[in-house]
Protein backbone atom coordinates (compact mmCIF):
# COMPACT_ATOMS: atom_id res chain seq x y z
CA UNK A 1 0.00 0.00 0.00
CA UNK A 2 1.33 3.44 -0.83
CA UNK A 3 1.75 6.00 1.93
CA UNK A 4 -0.54 8.29 -0.07
CA UNK A 5 -3.35 5.75 0.35
CA UNK A 6 -2.69 5.57 4.10
CA UNK A 7 -2.95 9.37 4.20
CA UNK A 8 -6.30 9.23 2.43
CA UNK A 9 -7.75 6.33 4.45
CA UNK A 10 -6.87 7.98 7.77
CA UNK A 11 -7.62 11.54 6.66
CA UNK A 12 -4.09 12.29 7.80
CA UNK A 13 -1.91 15.38 7.50
CA UNK A 14 1.65 15.10 6.18
CA UNK A 15 4.15 16.58 8.64
CA UNK A 16 7.35 15.81 6.74
CA UNK A 17 8.84 13.95 3.79
CA UNK A 18 5.88 14.50 1.48
CA UNK A 19 8.12 13.32 -1.37
CA UNK A 20 7.82 9.79 0.08
CA UNK A 21 4.03 9.53 -0.40
CA UNK A 22 4.40 7.16 -3.35
CA UNK A 23 6.56 4.76 -1.30
CA UNK A 24 5.09 1.28 -0.86
CA UNK A 25 4.77 -0.24 2.60
CA UNK A 26 4.14 -3.95 3.08
CA UNK A 27 2.87 -4.15 6.64
CA UNK A 28 1.82 -2.14 9.68
CA UNK A 29 2.57 -2.13 13.39
CA UNK A 30 0.50 -0.29 15.99
CA UNK A 31 2.09 0.26 19.40
CA UNK A 32 3.03 2.85 22.00
CA UNK A 33 5.73 0.53 23.34
CA UNK A 34 8.94 0.63 21.35
CA UNK A 35 9.99 -2.74 22.81
CA UNK A 36 6.99 -4.27 21.00
CA UNK A 37 8.02 -2.51 17.79
CA UNK A 38 11.49 -4.04 18.10
CA UNK A 39 9.85 -7.51 18.11
CA UNK A 40 8.09 -6.69 14.83
CA UNK A 41 9.59 -8.12 11.63
CA UNK A 42 11.03 -5.31 9.56
CA UNK A 43 9.66 -5.12 6.02
CA UNK A 44 9.04 -1.60 4.67
CA UNK A 45 6.45 -1.01 7.36
CA UNK A 46 4.33 1.81 8.72
CA UNK A 47 4.20 2.43 12.48
CA UNK A 48 1.08 3.79 14.15
CA UNK A 49 1.74 5.23 17.60
CA UNK A 50 0.67 7.88 20.07
CA UNK A 51 4.18 8.15 21.49
CA UNK A 52 5.79 11.36 20.22
CA UNK A 53 9.51 11.50 20.98
CA UNK A 54 12.87 11.06 19.21
CA UNK A 55 13.13 7.42 20.32
CA UNK A 56 10.21 6.58 18.01
CA UNK A 57 12.17 7.89 15.03
CA UNK A 58 15.33 6.03 16.07
CA UNK A 59 13.37 2.80 16.51
CA UNK A 60 11.69 3.27 13.13
CA UNK A 61 15.05 3.75 11.44
CA UNK A 62 16.42 0.55 13.01
CA UNK A 63 13.39 -1.46 11.92
CA UNK A 64 13.16 -0.25 8.30
CA UNK A 65 9.92 1.62 8.99
CA UNK A 66 9.22 4.04 6.13
CA UNK A 67 6.36 6.00 7.70
CA UNK A 68 5.12 6.90 11.16
CA UNK A 69 1.50 7.85 11.76
CA UNK A 70 0.92 9.66 15.02
CA UNK A 71 -2.62 8.84 16.17
CA UNK A 72 -5.05 10.66 18.46
CA UNK A 73 -4.08 14.03 16.97
CA UNK A 74 -0.56 13.92 18.41
CA UNK A 75 1.83 16.47 16.91
CA UNK A 76 5.61 15.93 16.91
CA UNK A 77 8.04 18.59 18.10
CA UNK A 78 10.44 20.29 15.71
CA UNK A 79 13.38 18.13 16.84
CA UNK A 80 11.37 14.95 16.11
CA UNK A 81 10.47 16.29 12.66
CA UNK A 82 14.09 17.21 11.89
CA UNK A 83 15.28 13.75 12.94
CA UNK A 84 12.67 12.07 10.72
CA UNK A 85 13.66 14.28 7.79
CA UNK A 86 17.32 13.40 8.22
CA UNK A 87 16.45 9.69 8.23
CA UNK A 88 13.97 9.97 5.31
CA UNK A 89 10.98 8.74 7.34
CA UNK A 90 7.59 10.19 6.45
CA UNK A 91 5.49 11.48 9.34
CA UNK A 92 1.70 11.74 9.22
CA UNK A 93 -0.76 12.67 11.94
CA UNK A 94 -4.40 11.64 12.24
CA UNK A 95 -7.17 12.29 14.74
CA UNK A 96 -8.14 8.59 14.60
CA UNK A 97 -7.53 6.41 17.63
CA UNK A 98 -4.98 3.65 17.11
CA UNK A 99 -7.54 0.82 17.11
CA UNK A 100 -9.65 2.45 14.41
CA UNK A 101 -6.65 3.53 12.33
CA UNK A 102 -5.16 0.02 12.37
CA UNK A 103 -8.55 -1.45 11.53
CA UNK A 104 -9.02 0.83 8.53
CA UNK A 105 -5.61 -0.10 7.14
CA UNK A 106 -6.18 -3.81 7.72
CA UNK A 107 -9.64 -3.72 6.10
CA UNK A 108 -8.06 -2.13 3.05
CA UNK A 109 -5.46 -4.85 2.61
CA UNK A 110 -2.43 -3.81 4.68
CA UNK A 111 -1.16 -6.87 6.53
CA UNK A 112 0.01 -6.94 10.13
CA UNK A 113 3.33 -8.66 9.48
CA UNK A 114 5.02 -11.18 11.75
CA UNK A 115 6.41 -11.07 15.26
CA UNK A 116 9.83 -12.40 16.22
CA UNK A 117 9.14 -15.08 18.84
CA UNK A 118 12.54 -16.26 20.04
At 10, which CATH number?
3.40.1390.20
Q: How many helices, marked H, and strands, marked E, lie in the chain?
A: 5, 5
Q: Does residue 26 form part of some domain?
A: yes
Total structural domains in the chain? 1
Q: Does residue 118 form part of some domain?
A: no
- Tens digits of per-residue pLDDT, 24-38? 999 999 999 888 888
Q: Does residue 52 form part of some domain?
A: yes
Residues 6 or more apart in contact with residue 47 via CB below 8 angstroms: 28, 29, 30, 31, 37, 56, 59, 60, 63, 65, 67, 68, 69
Please report the pLDDT score of residue 1 as a whole number: 94
CA angle (75 as vertex; 39, 108 as ends), nearest 5: 55
Cα 74–chain centre separation: 13
Gap between the Cα atoms of 105 and 114, Å rounded: 16
Q: Does residue 53 form part of some domain?
A: yes
Q: What is the mean pLDDT of residues 5-17?
A: 97
Q: Give the residue ranges of DSSP H helices in 1-118.
A: 3-9, 34-38, 54-62, 78-86, 98-107
Q: Does residue 55 form part of some domain?
A: yes
Range of the domain at 100: 3-107
- Tens digits of per-residue pLDDT, 37-88? 888 766 789 999 999 999 999 999 988 899 999 999 999 999 999 999 999 9
Q: Does residue 64 form part of some domain?
A: yes
Please report the pLDDT score of residue 31 as a whole number: 92
Q: Does residue 114 form part of some domain?
A: no
pLDDT at residue 116 tops 60: no
Q: Return the bridge partners of 40, or none.
A: 115
Please report the pLDDT score of residue 21 as a whole number: 97
Which own/partner contact pairs does 41-44 have at CB distance under 8 Å and 24+ positions apart?
41/113, 41/114, 41/115, 41/116, 43/113
Q: Does residue 112 form part of some domain?
A: no
Amino acid sequence: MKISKIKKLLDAKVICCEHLLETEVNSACGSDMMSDVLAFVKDNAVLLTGLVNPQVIRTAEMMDIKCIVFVRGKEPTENVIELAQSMEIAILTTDERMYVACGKLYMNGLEGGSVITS
